[in-house]
Structure 1
Amino acid sequence: MVELAVKDIQEATGARLLAGDPGSACTRCIIDSREAAAGDLFVAFPGERVDGNDFAASAIEAGAAAVALTREPSKELLDLAHERGCAVFALDDAEEFLLSLAHRWRRILGCTVVGITGSIGKTTTKDVLAGVLRQRFRVHVTGGNFNNLIGMPLTILSAPRDTQVLVLEMGMNSRGEIERLTRCAEPSLAVITKIGTSHIGMLGSRENIARAKAEIVDGMVPVPVGAEAGRPGAAPLLVLTGEDPFTPFIADTFARPAGVEVLCAGLEESDAVSATAIELGDDGCPSFTLTLEDGSHARTELAITGRQSVSNAVLAAAVASRLGVTAAEIDHAFRALQITGRRQEVRHAASGARIIDDSYNASPESTAAALDLLCTLPTRGRRIAVLGEMGELGDESERLHGLVGAYAAAKKLDLMVCVGTDGAAEMLAAARLMGMDEDVTLSAATAEEVVRLIGDDLGPDDTVLVKGSRFVGLDRFVEEVC
């Protein structure tokens, strides 16, 4: 929890102090006035439909210690602030204010920071790493999808004073965002999970995506002096996946010229940290041999499903081993993992059908991996895929949706339901072109329509994959049938 005096906030951000005692303290940072309580700093973000400045008075009345506004306050608001002993800041950019404030708190913490980005797998990698590091350290980690220019600084500002390792997920929608996040967080270790096609509609090519993700090196720093995790003064370390074709480009063009050490972790024995001899159990959970940099190894098993989870786990193991976690400790953590929900989470429908809930988000690569899992799991009933369309693919949308449809057809599914509009139609057309019969390829506009189409027809032995971008809302289908 943040512990900053009003004068320190002013110094860190350059905001103008219009009212309040410079010596008074703020102990939490919020952006929702409905959460306001004594000691809080409420930052008002302007929005298209809702303007946070309109709710400053309610935050003050709830006991907030300070409010930060992006428009000039009225005399009535200032009078209320004086009456309640609440500080009032005036600022031009709420986003930059939050980043600057989080940067100050990160410096005060003096802990080791790990930054994680990539096109797919970053949330799973973050969850796995946090689970492993908790074997030894007090860890604070990004919750849910708090990985953007607002969510990440809020995560930093919520870190307790005794945090030893801060694990931060960093997402982006355009070039320059990862740079702003990493300069705020100053990670000493970082991971780029994979360069895929997510955001290709905004950035134009996978090379541009690689350049955007590589911005994470711009803010990297040596392990801070006094840090309790890692070797103080050690050079920053970037962990890359050995099998990604953009790894040499990122390593040689961005990381090494910036003085950042590069370590490859992956599924080949030649990787510095590797996972080999992978086997998938009947429950979809993989077992494999993990080998660390020092040659130590363990035969381990993940408590999460899917072969693709192994790549994420080995990236996490590479970071953890650099921070002193042993192979035995990593093995113990892998077997007890819990990850953010709706990522290949196995549930059961009321009918008894097994539901693979992967409705959190989707890209072409992650959808293909999810289809692989569906067709690997043993089942006595039908294999059914409920596939929502994928967002942020731009001019590549038609082609990439078609490729996913063709890939699904090659899997010889018993039933496929494509959900959405144009992208769903492309998947459906490609699947039929590749030989899937019309009677086993259905279309639906919404999750509710999927419920009407197949909700009552799921048998107790069926296995159903539910996968789509978040805006499709396929989690509603899962909740209806489970």
Structure 2
Amino acid sequence: MIEIAVRYLEKVTGAKPWTGNADRVCRGVVIDSRKVEEDSIFVAFPGERVDGNDFAAQAIEAGAGCVVLTREPDRALLKLADAHGCAIFTCDDPEEFLLLLAQGYRSRMRCTVVGVTGSIGKTTTKDVLAELLATSYRVHVTQGNYNNLIGMPLTILSAPRDTQVMVIEMGMDGAGQIERMTRCAQPTYAIITKIGTSHVGKLGSRENIARAKAEIVSGMPPSSENFEGHHSKLVLCGEDDFTPFIVEHFAKPAGVDVLLCGTSPDDDVSASHIEVDAEGRPSFDIMFENGANFHTGLSIPGRQSVVNALFAAAVAREMGIAGFVIDEVFHKLNITGRRQETRTATCGARVLDDSYNASPESMAAGLDLLSTLPCEGQRIAVLGEMGELGEAEGPRLHELVGAYAAAKKLDLLVFVGGENARAMERAARLMGQPEEGIVRVPDCERLCRRYGNVLGAHDLVLVKASRFVGLDRFVEEVCR
């Protein structure tokens, strides 16, 4: 993790010093006063319900080496800080403080950074890539949902000093956010998995989403430069309709070379002869641009996982990972949970737990998997509402999901939520789903009461929604 003397904090971040021992060395950064350890830097974030500035005294008493506030400290706090040898700084924007501090630390580490973004598939891609690179490098990788303007710099700041590669996930819900993150992280390699409809409510169109994701190139060096032993590459999906747009308007002007991944033989890294086994695990032939090819397979389910694996393989090969190593890792992947994770219910039913998040595209992928896996009992889809689609597009996109679900001819569709769940229900009924095969419940609590113990031993159940719906509680209820 970062180690920095108090005297350098003003120079690196521009924060205003109030008091403190300039020679004290601080180690690590936290934004929760309960996680303060000896010599931690505690950064206070003001909030609507909880104001981190109010916990400065607790942080000092817990041993913080530095406290960063967004308001002027009073005399009592300054006196307490002096008594404990704790520095106090103030800044206008704690997000920017973290980004600048992380940028300085990342520059001193001189490791290789891979940035991963996209509407869907970025976490799976990040996890696969981290496992591939860990076979040859000391890798530090984004954990959980630490992929925003606060979480991403905290990820960098927590990296061990001897890290050789950082795999950094970059999420966003507005324009300009990824640009701030990428200028901090300075990735040599970047992956944009797919331009979907997540955040269309805030950004207005898929083109604007593409622009926001493509901001990742603004922190990358040109491919003509040898940057820490590597030449930059942007990895894109050859089948995505916005790939030409990103290449022409972002990659080429930035001087960043592009690698295409997909199922076309024209792609730089391609998959062919894709087959899915009884557990939904795909096998395929993979070919690289130099002609190297081999047959491989994934231990994770879903045909859509193939392209995510190609993204990871493309960067891994650029960084010298051999084909036989890629094949071995693919066969024993262990990715972040609740993404098409197969669970066994108490009654014996198989549950495809994909409750971590949802978009129209990932809903369709989950329904595809549900409809193709072998099943002796009922095929059931439990679909909750999707977030961040906006008031204008949200109902229409939910209707599309409902119609797509009906087209799969499943035995039972259970929709969870309010108006948007009703939109899915209406569309499914309109598309011919039988009345006895449609149910809507308003929330997860009602879902658990109605379906917590009525699944059959041979049923196959997909559970999919955005996280705010809380369908992970249903999974735990039926699988406990």
TM superposition score category, shorter chain reference: over 0.9
Matched, 1:463 2:463: no
Q: SS at 1:380's partner residue?
A: coil
Q: SS at 2:361's partner residue?
A: helix
Distance 2:288 2:109 in 1: 29
1:267–1:226: structure 2 CA closer, same or farther, 3 Å change rule? closer
The Cα of 1:225 is off from its aligned counterpart by 6.8
**Aligned equivalent of 1:281, options 277, 284, 290:** 277
**Kept in 2: contact 1:117–1:191 (CA 8 A):** yes
Which one-letter code corresponds to 1:458 in the other structure? Answer: L
Q: SS at 1:59's partner residue?
A: helix
The Cα of 1:226 is off from its aligned counterpart by 8.1
Q: 2:112 maps to what in 1? A: 112
Distance 2:335 2:27 in 1: 29
**Length, aligned pairs only:** 477
Which one-letter code corresponds to 2:196 in the other structure? Answer: G
Q: 1:138 maps to what in 2? A: 138
**Kept in 2: contact 1:292–1:327 (CA 8 A):** no
Which one-letter code corresponds to 2:32 in the other structure? Answer: D
Q: 1:359 maps to what in 2? A: 355
**Aligned equivalent of 2:346, options 344, 350, 357:** 350
Which one-letter code corresponds to 2:286 in the other structure? Answer: L
Q: Percent identity?
A: 62
Q: 2:303 maps to what in 1? A: 307
Q: 1:34 maps to what in 2? A: 34
Please give the residue correspondences for 1:4-403 in structure 2 after superposition, counting only pairs within 5 Å. Answer: 4-221=4-221, 227=228, 232=229, 234-394=230-390, 395-403=392-400
What are the superposed Cα offsets for residues 92-151 of structure 1, whole Å, 9 maximum, x if unpaired? Answer: 110100000000000011001000111111011000100111111110000011100000
The Cα of 1:235 is off from its aligned counterpart by 3.4
Which one-letter code corresponds to 1:179 in the other structure? Answer: E
Q: SS at 1:37's partner residue?
A: coil
Q: SS at 1:274's partner residue?
A: strand
What are the superposed Cα offsets for residues 352-374 of structure 1, whole Å, 9 maximum, x if unpaired? Answer: 11000000000000000000000
**Kept in 2: contact 1:110–1:226 (CA 8 A):** no
**Kept in 1: contact 2:264–2:270 (CA 8 A):** yes
**Kept in 2: contact 1:417–1:442 (CA 8 A):** yes
What are the superposed Cα offsets for residues 287-311 of structure 1, whole Å, 9 maximum, x if unpaired? Answer: 1111122221221111111000001
1:220–1:226: structure 2 CA closer, same or farther, 3 Å change rule? closer
Q: SS at 2:439's partner residue?
A: strand
Distance 1:377 1:60 in 2: 56
Distance 2:309 2:150 in 1: 27
| Unaligned 5+ runs, structure 1 | none
Which one-letter code corresponds to 2:380 in the other structure? Answer: I
Superposition CA RMSD, Å? 1.1
Please give the residue correspondences for 1:414-453 in structure 2 after superposition, counting only pairs within 5 Å. Answer: 414-453=411-450
**Kept in 1: contact 2:351–2:460 (CA 8 A):** yes
Matched, 1:413 2:422: no
Q: SS at 1:347's partner residue?
A: strand
Distance 2:27 2:328 in 1: 36
**Kept in 1: contact 2:222–2:254 (CA 8 A):** no
Which one-letter code corresponds to 1:427 in the other structure? Answer: M
What are the superposed Cα offsets for residues 448-470 of structure 1, whole Å, 9 maximum, x if unpaired? Answer: 11112222210110010000011
**Kept in 2: contact 1:444–1:450 (CA 8 A):** yes
Matched, 1:454 2:451: yes
Which one-letter code corresponds to 1:268 in the other structure? Answer: S
The Cα of 1:345 is off from its aligned counterpart by 0.5
Distance 2:169 2:232 in 1: 17
What are the superposed Cα offsets for residues 296-354 of structure 1, whole Å, 9 maximum, x if unpaired? Answer: 12211111110000010001111111111111111111111111111001001111110
The Cα of 1:402 is off from its aligned counterpart by 0.7
The Cα of 1:30 is off from its aligned counterpart by 0.3
1:208–1:153: structure 2 CA closer, same or farther, 3 Å change rule? same
What are the superposed Cα offsets for residues 171-226 of structure 1, whole Å, 9 maximum, x if unpaired? Answer: 11110001101011110100000000001111111111111111111111258978
Q: Detail structure 1 runs of 4+ shifted over 6 Å in the superposition.
A: 223-226
Normalised by the length of structure 2, the TM-score is 0.98
**Kept in 2: contact 1:182–1:220 (CA 8 A):** yes
Distance 2:213 2:227 in 1: 29
Distance 2:257 2:24 in 1: 43
Which one-letter code corresponds to 2:316 in the other structure? Answer: A
| Unaligned 5+ runs, structure 2 | none
Distance 2:220 2:23 in 1: 33
The Cα of 1:22 is off from its aligned counterpart by 1.4
**Kept in 1: contact 2:120–2:362 (CA 8 A):** yes
Which one-letter code corresponds to 2:288 in the other structure? Answer: L
The Cα of 1:432 is off from its aligned counterpart by 0.5
**Kept in 2: contact 1:140–1:167 (CA 8 A):** yes
The Cα of 1:265 is off from its aligned counterpart by 0.9
The Cα of 1:391 is off from its aligned counterpart by 1.1
Normalised by the length of structure 1, the TM-score is 0.97
**Kept in 1: contact 2:112–2:166 (CA 8 A):** yes
1:477–1:125: structure 2 CA closer, same or farther, 3 Å change rule? same
**Kept in 1: contact 2:7–2:23 (CA 8 A):** yes
Q: SS at 1:136's partner residue?
A: coil
The Cα of 1:166 is off from its aligned counterpart by 0.6
Which one-letter code corresponds to 1:396 in the other structure? Answer: E
Which one-letter code corresponds to 1:39 in the other structure? Answer: D
Which one-letter code corresponds to 2:439 in the other structure? Answer: L
**Kept in 2: contact 1:235–1:259 (CA 8 A):** no
What are the superposed Cα offsets for residues 20-49 of structure 1, whole Å, 9 maximum, x if unpaired? Answer: 111211111000000111021000000000
